[in-house]
């Protein structure tokens, strides 16, 4: 019997009502499971022989229950294919079972994501196979909260040559993305005051607040974040290579002022290098961390280069923060999953990661150029030297957004990014050119052009 149970196959949890009779109880349990969505359409059910053995009933009883539910339309049965849960009918009762889904936009130019259709599946699979083939058995056990040494070593070399980051492996902590890194740092500050760029991403402000920090605005102008506004903060969070959402690059004088502030106040600079690899018109701007490695925490991820689904990020920490961050990481999720770390390390060491980034850089530059060609010289477009988005200045966000909705066009705008809304705030569209698939991008640009042309004519 033990051998039989170890090979039952499909697990199916049912609790038939014994008081209703064996067949009726089984029918009711199956019917309720389908209605409540616990058995989704297409779910394959165990064979009657196995179900009967599991429930301690006769095979004839199990078959009779299946036959009844097939007749009622809850199940389907085909010779040689087994028994499956039938597709839900398109009536009101079924609609109540189905989870609601937001309607996808016809055209999507929202910022924040890369073109996930470019994920290097073949290269990732090769790296994964090599990593698994050479991984020690302990790689499948609980690991160091700082992350796998293979990835930390690979990142040390890559970040040094590609981004100018001073990153010894012992000062790197692997995270499950940028958000976790920001939350860990906020907890280390133990309720401190964090200055965050204004405009900036509202979700990141909420991450800091929900992790115990107090958020104050850090104004951004055409030279980037203003260090003088951080006077009373314990930490500042900046996007110096390509500010989100304005697209400006932090001016060298502002860089010096920010690092001087950190040294004088013993403050912490958190550098979000979210799309620093994508520079188009001149040499990449090096990371701020290289100027003051004792005061700057560098945060990077694979989300914009490979894809957000991997949930792989990294922190390069000043020496005095490594143990504190590692301890909080240990007590939050122990460690980030290890197999993906090994695969990314393999991709970096084999230079497959560099090749993918270079290919994406060319693709996104072509998209940026197409955006400029479509909009022409009639509108001011900023933040185009780098990154995955540009800022298009407009006079009336509300009018543009209303016409965009009519076109089925989803797009970002500055109004979503201010710490506090105000009538005197600059207005603009935050246009991403990473989200659409390659073939859909021209159509999305045409939709944007139609909207802006219509607003211009109406004005």
pLDDT band at 5 (very low <50, low <70, confident <90, very high): very low
User: Looking at 32, 64, 97, which one is the last position of a domain?
Assistant: 97
Q: Does residue 195 sit in the same domain as residue 323? A: yes
Per DSSP, the residues of 340-368 read HHHHHHHHHHTTHHHHHHHHHHHHHHHHH
Residues contacting residue 178 through CB under 8 Å, at least 6 positions apart: 272, 274, 299, 301, 303, 313
Give the CATH number for residue 405. 3.90.1150.10
Token code pair at residue 251: 């001016």
Residues 10, 46: contact at Cβ < 8 Å?
Answer: yes
Q: Does residue 408 sit in the same domain as residue 424? A: yes
Q: Does residue 303 sit in the same domain as residue 369? A: no
What is the C-alpha separation between 65 and 52, in angstroms, rounded?
11
**Separation of CA 306 from chain center:** 10
Q: What is the pLDDT of residues 60-95, one digit of tens each?
A: 898 998 988 888 889 998 877 789 999 865 544 444
The whole-number pLDDT of residue 232 equals: 87
Q: Does residue 362 sit in the same domain as residue 339? A: no
Q: What are phi and psi of 404, to 5 degrees?
A: -65, -40
Q: Does residue 11 sit in the same domain as residue 71? A: yes
Report yes or no on 395 lying in a domain. Answer: yes
What is the C-alpha separation between 248 and 234, in angstroms, rounded?
24
Number of domains the chain is built from: 3
Q: Is the pLDDT of residue 19 over 80?
A: no
Q: Does residue 153 sit in the same domain as residue 70? A: no
pLDDT band at 53 (very low <50, low <70, confident <90, very high): confident
Q: What is the pLDDT of residues 318-358, one digit of tens each?
A: 999 999 999 999 999 999 999 999 999 999 999 999 999 99
What's the chain's average pLDDT? 90
What is the C-alpha separation between 428 and 217, in angstroms, rounded?
19
What is the C-alpha separation between 213 and 210, in angstroms, rounded?
7
Q: Does residue 334 sit in the same domain as residue 439? A: no
Token code pair at residue 31: 């019917």
Q: Does residue 338 sit in the same domain as residue 386? A: no
Q: Does residue 63 sit in the same domain as residue 14? A: yes
For the chain, the helix, strand and coil percentages under 3-state DSSP, each to the nearest 5: 45, 15, 35
Q: Does residue 382 sit in the same domain as residue 430? A: yes
Query: Which three-class secondary structure state does DSSP give residue 276?
Result: coil
Residues 235, 269: contact at Cβ < 8 Å?
Answer: yes
What is the C-alpha separation between 327 and 330, in angstroms, rounded?
5
Report yes or no on 297 lying in a domain. Answer: yes
| β-pair type (172-175, 75-78) | unpaired
Report the pLDDT averaged over residues 293-318.
97
b (16+ CB within 10 A) / e for 201-221: beebbebbeebebebbbbebe
Residues contacting residue 128 through CB under 8 Å, at least 6 positions apart: 339, 342, 343, 346
C-alpha distances in angstroms, 312 versus 174, 179, 382? 7, 11, 30
Token code pair at residue 443: 């159509």
Q: Is the pLDDT of residue 98 over 50?
A: no
Give the CATH number for residue 86. 1.10.10.10
Report the pLDDT averaged over residues 27-37.
89
Q: Is the pLDDT of residue 400 over 90?
A: yes
Query: What residue numbers bound the domain in which 54 lies?
Result: 2-97
Q: What is the pLDDT of residues 123-143, one digit of tens each?
A: 999 999 999 999 999 999 999
Residues contacting residue 333 through CB under 8 Å, at least 6 positions apart: 176, 180
Report yes or no on 414 lying in a domain. Answer: yes
Give the CATH number for residue 196. 3.40.640.10
Query: Which three-class secondary structure state does DSSP give residue 274?
Result: coil
Report yes or no on 238 lying in a domain. Answer: yes
User: Looking at 353, 376, 402, which one is the last position of a domain?
Assistant: 353
Report yes or no on 244 lying in a domain. Answer: yes
Residues 272, 178: contact at Cβ < 8 Å?
Answer: yes
Residues 247, 414: contact at Cβ < 8 Å?
Answer: no
pLDDT band at 456 (very low <50, low <70, confident <90, very high): confident
Q: Does residue 157 sit in the same domain as residue 72? A: no
What is the C-alpha separation between 52 and 22, in angstroms, rounded?
11
Token code pair at residue 84: 């499956």
Report yes or no on 102 lying in a domain. Answer: no
Report yes or no on 130 lying in a domain. Answer: yes
How many distinct helices (H) and strands (E) make up the chain? 15, 15
C-alpha distances in angstroms, 5 versus 8, 9, 336? 5, 9, 34
User: Looking at 353, 387, 421, which one is the last position of a domain?
Assistant: 353
Token code pair at residue 324: 């504190």
H or E element at residue 265: helix 252-265
C-alpha distances in angstroms, 133 versus 126, 130, 339? 11, 5, 11
Report the pLDDT averaged over residues 184-201.
95
Q: Does residue 346 sit in the same domain as residue 390? A: no
């Amino acid at each position: 019997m033990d051998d039989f149970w170890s090979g039952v196959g499909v697990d199916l949890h049912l609790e038939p009502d014994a008081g209703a009779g064996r067949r009726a109880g089984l029918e009711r349990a199956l019917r309720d499971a389908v209605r409540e969505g616990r058995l989704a359409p297409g779910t394959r059910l165990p064979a009657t022989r196995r179900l009967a053995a599991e429930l301690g009933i006769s095979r004839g009883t199990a078959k009779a229950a299946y036959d009844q539910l097939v007749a009622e339309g809850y199940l389907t049965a085909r010779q040689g294919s087994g028994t499956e849960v039938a597709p839900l009918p398109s009536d009101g009762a079924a609609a109540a079972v189905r989870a609601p889904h937001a309607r996808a936009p016809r055209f999507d130019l929202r910022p924040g994501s890369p073109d996930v259709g470019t994920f290097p599946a073949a290269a990732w699979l090769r790296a994964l196979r090599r990593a698994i083939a050479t991984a020690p058995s302990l790689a499948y056990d609980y690991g160091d909260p700082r992350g796998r040494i293979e990835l930390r070593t690979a990142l040390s070399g890559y970040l040094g040559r590609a981004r100018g980051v001073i990153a010894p492996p012992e000062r790197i902590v692997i995270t499950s993305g940028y958000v976790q890194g920001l939350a860990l740092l906020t907890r280390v500050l133990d309720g401190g005051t964090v200055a965050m760029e204004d405009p900036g991403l509202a979700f990141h402000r909420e991450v800091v607040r929900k992790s115990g920090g107090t958020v104050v605005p850090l104004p951004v102008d055409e030279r980037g974040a203003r260090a003088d506004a951080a006077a009373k903060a314990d930490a500042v969070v900046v996007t110096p290579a390509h500010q989100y959402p304005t697209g400006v690059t932090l001016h060298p004088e502002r860089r010096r002022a920010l690092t001087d502030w950190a040294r004088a106040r013993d403050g912490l600079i958190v550098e979000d290098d979210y799309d620093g690899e994508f520079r188009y018109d001149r040499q990449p701007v090096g990371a701020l961390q290289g100027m003051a490695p004792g005061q700057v925490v560098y945060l990077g991820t694979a989300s914009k280069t490979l894809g957000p689904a991997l949930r792989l990020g990294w922190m390069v920490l000043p020496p005095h923060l490594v143990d504190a961050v590692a301890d909080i990481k240990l007590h939050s999720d122990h460690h980030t999953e290890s197999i993906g770390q090994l695969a990314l390390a393999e991709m970096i060491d084999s230079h497959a990661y560099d090749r993918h980034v270079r290919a994406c850089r060319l693709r996104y530059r072509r998209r940026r150029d197409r955006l400029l060609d479509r909009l022409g010289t009639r509108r001011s477009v900023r933040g185009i030297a780098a990154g995955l988005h540009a800022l298009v200045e407009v006079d009336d966000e509300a009018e543009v957004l209303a016409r965009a909705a009519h076109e089925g066009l989803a797009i970002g705008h500055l109004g979503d990014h201010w710490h506090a809304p105000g009538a005197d705030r600059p207005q603009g569209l935050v246009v991403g050119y990473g989200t659409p698939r390659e073939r859909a991008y021209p159509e999305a640009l045409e939709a944007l052009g139609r909207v802006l042309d219509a607003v211009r004519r109406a004005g």
